[in-house]
Amino acid sequence: MSSPLSYTLRATVGQARSGILTTPHGEVPTPAFMPVGTYGTVKGLIPEELRDCGASIVLSNALHLWVRPGDELIRELGGLHRFMNWDGPILTDSGGYQIFSLKEFSTVSEEGVKFRAPVDGQYRMLTPERCVQIQENLGVDLAMAFDECIEWPADRARVLASTQRTTRWLKRCIAARTQPDRTALLGIVQGGFYADLRKAHADEIVELDLDAYAIGGLSVGEPQDQMLAMVEETTPHLPATKVRYLMGVGYPVDIAEAVSRGIDLFDCVIPTRSGRFGQVFTHEGRLTIKHARYREDSRPLDPECPCYTCRSFSRAYLRHLFQANEILAPRLLSLHNIAFYQRLMARLRAAIEQGPDALTEVRALALRWSAAIPE
């Protein structure tokens, strides 16, 4: 069985690597950041704007699209690419993390997870088989296997039992596939914050020879050093010939540090969510545009940024939009943040091509860019 994905390695610096991920809907230069379009849209932005920002792949959420408007409707309308008018690659999260966030309204069993959807209050049962069917109906390029994401901290016995269940669910996902030549399946490494469990689980699911692999169960409230330690323990156990995805991470410094530990794909709501609340990433650090200090500031958000927002508007104008509750404000800031993240990824790719000194420099810059500007 041939995979719908291929990964071509271009350069390495230590564990860091740059390459090209080839999918049925085009190529993705890696390392890459996927803007989050949970409901089939990156909030406030249109596909052309994402392309202009440099995005080559986006992420949507299978669970949410199943609940509303329904995966079968989307299939009948030509699939998710046509539905959202995005002709590039799409990865869908299975919904495991979203169910984790609804743990007060969900019940986990060997069959799957019964949960109450906030949209309509109805109970639904999501199983590994249904998870695969939903994502194949959506027609996406990369589908995530159904896994169990658990809280931090959790004791070893609970983590071990959960990780073993994730493996059993993964094998059911594999058996449920009907379009393996069109929709890739990614297995998710779990194991909590126990290095030996992470290694063992990675070794176990790599034997299943999946299209690609992800590291899950991180970015759930733990300190950054613990997250990075688990990444560092896991990536050496994943195939060098297949793309690696770290789920739900994070700030620029998190991404740069994870890239240096061998990660290729990232997603996070931080750039768009921050933009909606008036916070932007700049080469000086993070700033909050709503603060009074920007009331008369004629400078662009970031003088080093070539995005539409920075080319066109002053900090004073953007602050005015927020003060006036204008819908344009979060749109323009989200646009800038997505562009900033895409430029970060381009800089990381170039640094890996240039060598260790260049990568060290970008890691140091990412730390500065993640910090808040003192007010």
User: Which are the catalytic amino acids?
Assistant: 93, 267
Q: To the nearest 10°, the Cα dihedral for 68, 74, 76, 78?
A: 170
Q: Specify the DSSP class assigned to residue 181.
A: T
Q: How many helices and strands, by DSSP H and E, does the chain display?
A: 15, 16
d(C-alpha 16, C-alpha 347), whole Å:
13
Q: Work out the angle at residue 8's Cα, subtended by the Cα atoms of residues 169 and 186, and round it to the nearest 5 degrees.
A: 10
Nearest to 152 by CA among 191, 192, 181: 192
Quick one: 163 exposed, middle or buried, by C-beta within 10 A (0-12, 13-18, 19+)?
Answer: buried
β-strands 212-215, 184-189 pairing: parallel
Q: Which helix (H) or strand (E) holds 61?
A: strand 58-61
> Distances from the Cα of 225 to the Cαs of 193, 222, 253, in angstroms?
11, 8, 12
Where would I find the H helices in 151-251?
Answer: 156-176, 195-206, 224-234
Strand partners, 7: 21
CA pair distance 150, 10, nearest whole angstrom? 35
Query: Which amino acid is residue 289, in one-letter code?
Result: I
Rounded CA-CA distance 83/40 in Å is 8
Q: Can you tell me the distance from the alpha carbon of 217 to that of 269, in angstroms, rounded to the nearest whole number?
A: 16
Extract the runs of DSSP E, i.e. beta strands, from 62-154. 90-93, 106-108, 113-116, 123-126, 142-144
| Pairing assessment for the beta strands 123-126 and 113-116 based on DSSP bridges | antiparallel
Closest CA to 271 of 364, 344, 169: 344
